[in-house]
Amino acid sequence: MLIINTPSDLTTTKPSAERTAFLSSLLNDFITFDDAVYPQDYDTSLQPGDTGYIEPVIRKEWNAGAAATWGFNSRDDVEQAVQE
């Protein structure tokens, strides 16, 4: 079993299924935001079709901070590492 605890572990690890799985997790790590503006007293139990329901405005962003922790500057860098 491969254990990756530090960026150094990652860079010294030979290509393997476990390394690829780790890198794929970084590549596919997205944070989801709801950018809709809701009133302070908004009833979050409302469903589509209910009076007063506000449609969520979903935005997903790649988690660059997590990748940076492992020494990657961009999503392309992670993709390249997956291919190695």
pLDDT of residue 59: 98
Is the CB of residue 17 less than 8 Å from the CB of residue 80?
A: no
Q: Is pLDDT at 2 greater than 80 in this prediction?
A: no
Q: Is pLDDT at 34 greater than 80 in this prediction?
A: yes
68 Cβ partners below 8 Å, 6+ apart? none
Q: What is the pTM of this model?
A: 0.75
Q: Is pLDDT at 5 greater than 90 in this prediction?
A: no
Mean pLDDT of 38-67: 97
